[in-house]
Structure 1
Amino acid sequence: MRGGTPFPEKRNGRQAVPLRRLQYTLALLVAVIVCGGLGYHQLAHLNALDSLYMAVTTLFTVGFRELGDVNAQTKLFTIFYLVIGLGTASYAVSNLTALLLEGDLKGYIMERRMQKRLDDLKDHIIVCGFGKMGFQAAWELKKAGIPFVIIEQDETKGRSPRFAGEMILYGNAMEEMVLERAGVRRARGLITALTTDADNVLVTLTVKQMRPDIPVVARSAKLGTERQLKAAGADHIVSPYEIGGRRMAGLLLKPEMMNFFDIVLQQEQLELGLERIAIATGSPLVGQTLREARLRHATGSLLVGLVHPGSGLRFNPSGEERFQKGDELLVMGPPDALETLTRLAKG
Structure 2
Amino acid sequence: MTEHILLHVVLLLTIAVITVSLSRRLHFPPILGYIIVGIIVGPNGFGWIQKEENIELLAEFGIVFLLFAIGLEFSFSQMYAMRKQVFGLGTAQVFTTAGVIYLIGTLAGLDTNTTIVIAGAFALSSTAIVIKQLTEQSEIQSRHGRSAVGILIFQDIMAIPLLILIPTLALSGGDDGVLTWALTMAFLKGVLVVVIMHLIGKYLLRPLFHEVASAKSQELFTLTVLTVALSAAAFTEGMGLSMTLGAFLAGMMLSETEYRHQIESDIRPFQDILLGLFFVTVGMLISIEILASHFWMVIAVTLAIFIIKGAILYLVSRLFKKEGGVSLRIALSLSQVGEFGLVLMTLAFTYKLLPEEIGNILLTAAVLSMSIAPFLVKFNGKIAKRLHKSSYTMSHHEIENTIAEDNKHIQDHVILCGFGRVGQTVSRFLHNSNNRFIALDMDIKRVHEARAAGESVYYGDASKENILNAASLSKAKSVIITFSDFHASMKILKTVRRLDPNIPILVRTLDDQHVNELTEAGANEVVPDTFESSIMLASHLLLMIGEPPSQVLKQTRNIRKNRYKTLENFYPGEDDNPLEQHQVMKGIIHTVLIEGSMFSVGKTLKELKLTDFNVHVEAIKRGHIRGERPSVETALRLDDHLVLSGLPEDIERADKFLKTGRQN
Q: Whose strand proportion is higher, 1 or 2?
A: 1
Q: Fold match, TM over 0.5?
A: no
- TM-score scaled by structure 2? 0.23
Which protein is bigger by CA-based radius of gyration?
A: 1
